[in-house]
Chains A and B, each alone.
Chain A
């Protein structure tokens, strides 16, 4: 187990909002509203992060080093002065992976008892 993994494990279990935000910024830098939209899309509109929950989570995730605000910004025509973009850090990636692993473990256990969703 690497140091990074060990550090990541300390964050588990992850609050759902944090997990979703990590997923949203996993492949590209996004600004706040884009994160909300991404989460909504991925969950089929089921989870609509509120502005309060989003930015409270972002503040904490910035402090914890799960995400950063990158210095370079997207091409000027796409950019809005006020917008702030967030990018996942290696620690953030590790934490998201660890959480995914934890969830998978849970599902596996549930399935063993016949509680599994999908092909039961």
Chain B
């Protein structure tokens, strides 16, 4: 029994060694075992033996590896073309996949940078038409009190402020957070302390937490800043702490945090939804249990407040699920595309190795005849393909390293993620695993075909074609490559069509010749209409006096800017506001001239005017979509003078303007209402104070920027000017991430295309070289070169058809799957398919061109002589 056990252990050695010496070694072991004194001695012998077998087996393996590597280095050096091609193919495949993985992993897979992130959830309201609606403070307070599933829960909302008191006025983005939010996330400050409950109280002294970034850039990383006072929107705030370097919350842009002040006024309106809540589930509570409890609580509060909460439910999501469906889909598409590229690369590698194995049949047969064991040959072939894979993988990682920064654009900025993705250890492990799998699985391909038996036919002179079966496998591999590249071509094509469709969409304004910027007027300094009026008048008058400037005006929020929401309920004929149906419209306060400045056509009636003041009838300028939604039977001319209730008072329609794509080119234009900037109470609706400046000029808009800055600085030196952009840039930015997506997918498609062409070329030229004699014989027997041509072209046409047809079917499926990314372009877009199909066929033809020419140049005499 003991000897049997030892023999089992001997399997750790390479088979050849085991065969050769296993018997003798067992004998030695048997004798030792017999001579061992007592059970203790036998145990010692076992320990010693195990150590001996393990180390020596490893050393024997290493010996063989060293021999193989030396041999492989020699053979690869003799075939530099093969080596280079194989390495590059693997490099492209692994490079593309690694780069895609690093981004996908970063956004979708990797846990959020908080302790126990899987317990973190985000709480929303759910209303008809909105699956995730911000919370009202009142509902939050009630729900929090009733909920038992949370260990803790905190509230926040985004904020922005003017930071003064440092070098120059600065506009900063951040968040107002309740004191329990950061403990919920379980973060600790780098310096100082977090907020405590007292900071949240109405009227408490202003406190402030700085991000590491802001601390470094504006305060030079000086630790004594903790305790110092800074001015935030002209209000004194004491810096109480610095957050850690990697802490980004709620988004990557946030650089400061202030306490979220609760007061009775906040709780007054249960339909004032603008807060976000993050909770941490109690240990042992499952996500489903939490959801169920929140549903019950929401149902109770619906009974309690039947009017305000008529259609309000609770919606709970995991914090890690905050990535939008589109971003998620895009990353899946990216991963799919990279896998396609890898698949093509692997098929190519297998094909190359197959061809090489066939070419080396003689060599291998000779070595088999000379007694090299099959196991040794298999081992050598696998080692060879691993060596190629490792070379290729190394270059691939370098490619990925260079490519990942280009993919950064695909990372949504709405995530609380600190840094940008990079090729790190985790990604490297992935690349290594990928390399090994590639090398192993595709190194085995030729072996499957080499067969188990010693093949002495290879010894004969003048081996003919590799035989139908082997070519069959190679053809299948090439067909797979064509299929994959068609899928990628069509996907890239569909995205391109989508981009073109979007870019040709009319935004509703003329973006040429317009400069935009933000003048973040702080409250309370600009709380009064009169103060603001003075500011606007001076700035606008001075701007209009500039040469080339034709119009200048202010607006609450620019279309397609950072703030794309801002809707208010509309009520007609004194009916109560109904949140169930889509009875909302965009609210924008404007100064006179806004429509002219942006090039929005006034269809009927008039612009807002300087004399639309608070002591006169409140008026509104509405968009055509407003008429379609609320007065579907009316015309732009007939609605003038009609009344509706909007933003706390009655309004009369004074004008009708064209629709603007407020939320971006890909969104439908929703009803819009423009109100004169003077018809608002002092200190009210401060979120909509006109802070966006638009200047239309006949000179290049960028040249106006320095003058505009100077004018604003003269009127209010403490006011920062931010987001200075031409309107063209703003519109372009709207499709920037789409362009980035397209470039990435397009690059993948291009790589796939080239790889597939290389594969086709390789297959056909190999087939031709294997059939040189056959072609020679045929030509000697009178075949015309046109016959030979037909023979090869037929082959390549069959190949491309066999690839293109299933490719198109699969591409259609892929297109349907990513329909959400297509902006209305049908996944069955005929031109795209036609172009992709034609490209694939062209690729096959080009790939087969060189081999065909070579076949045509076969000299029958020399081909026959070789026989």
Residues of chain A having any CB pair with chain B under 8 Å: 31-33, 36, 50-56, 58-60, 82-84
Contact = CB atoms under 8 A, between A and B. Distances in A.
Contact of B63 (A31, A50, A60): A60
Nearest to B60: A56
Contacts of A31: 24
Contact of A52 (B20, B27, B56): B56
Contacts of B28: 32-33, 36, 51, 54
A56 B61 CA distance: 11
A51 B25 contact: yes
A51 B57 contact: no
B21 A58 contact: yes
Contacts of B53: 52
Contact of A50 (B21, B23, B24, B49): B49
B59 interface: yes
B29 A82 contact: no
A59 B31 CA distance: 21
B17 A82 contact: no
Contacts, number: 50
Most chain B C-beta atoms within 10 Å of own C-beta, residue among A36, A54, A55, A59: A55
B48 interface: yes
Given A51-B25, A56-B56, 10 more contacts: A33-B28, A51-B24, A52-B55, A53-B56, A55-B17, A55-B24, A56-B59, A59-B21, A83-B24, A84-B24
The majority secondary structure among interface residues of chain A is: helix
B52 interface: yes
A60 B21 CA distance: 12
A70 to B, nearest CB: 16
Contacts of A53: 52, 56
Contacts of A51: 24-25, 28-29, 49, 52
Nearest to A49: B28
24 contacts: A32-B25, A32-B27, A33-B28, A33-B31, A50-B48, A51-B24, A51-B25, A51-B28, A51-B29, A51-B49, A52-B25, A52-B52, A52-B56, A52-B57, A54-B28, A55-B17, A55-B25, A58-B21, A59-B17, A59-B20, A60-B63, A82-B23, A83-B27, A84-B24
A68 to B, nearest CB: 14
Contacts of A83: 24, 27
Given A59-B17, A60-B63, A32 B56 contact: no
Interface of B: 17, 20-21, 23-25, 27-29, 31, 48-49, 52-53, 55-57, 59-60, 63
A59 B56 contact: no
A32 B29 CA distance: 11
Contacts of A59: 17, 20-21, 60
Nearest to A55: B21
A56 B24 CA distance: 12
Nearest to B22: A55
A50 B17 contact: no
A59 B62 CA distance: 14
A84 B57 CA distance: 21
Contacts of B55: 52
A51 B52 CA distance: 8
Contacts of A33: 24, 27-28, 31
A14 to B, nearest CB: 17
Chain B at the A interface: SS class: helix
A71 to B, nearest CB: 17
B522 to A, nearest CB: 81
A32 B30 CA distance: 13
A84 B23 CA distance: 10
Question: Residue among B48, B49, B52, B59 with the most chain A CB within 10 A?
Answer: B52
Nearest to B63: A60
B9 to A, nearest CB: 10
Nearest to A80: B27
A60 to B, nearest CB: 7
Contacts of B56: 50, 52-53, 55-56
Task: Give the 4 A-B CB pairs with smallest separation, nearest first.
Answer: A52-B56, A50-B52, A55-B21, A52-B52
Contacts of A60: 63
Contacts of A55: 17, 21, 24-25, 56
Given A53-B52, A60-B63, A32 B24 contact: yes
A32 B26 CA distance: 11
B163 to A, nearest CB: 73
A53 B31 CA distance: 16
A79 to B, nearest CB: 14
A89 to B, nearest CB: 19
Nearest to B21: A55
A19 B52 CA distance: 19
Given A51-B29, A52-B57, A60-B63, A82 B24 contact: yes
A120 B265 CA distance: 104
B57 to A, nearest CB: 7
Contacts of B23: 82
A84 B56 CA distance: 20
Contacts of B25: 32, 51-52, 55
Contacts of A32: 24-25, 27-28
B375 to A, nearest CB: 15
Contacts of B24: 31-33, 51, 55, 82-84
Q: A33, A60, A82, A83 — which one has the most chain B CB atoms within 10 A of its CB?
A: A33
A31 B63 CA distance: 24
A51 to B, nearest CB: 4
Question: Residue among B24, B48, B52 with the most chain A CB within 10 A?
Answer: B24
A54 B56 CA distance: 10
Contacts of B17: 55, 59
A97 to B, nearest CB: 26
A119 B357 CA distance: 66
Contacts of A82: 23-24, 27
A55 B25 CA distance: 8
A44 B182 CA distance: 74
A50 B57 CA distance: 12
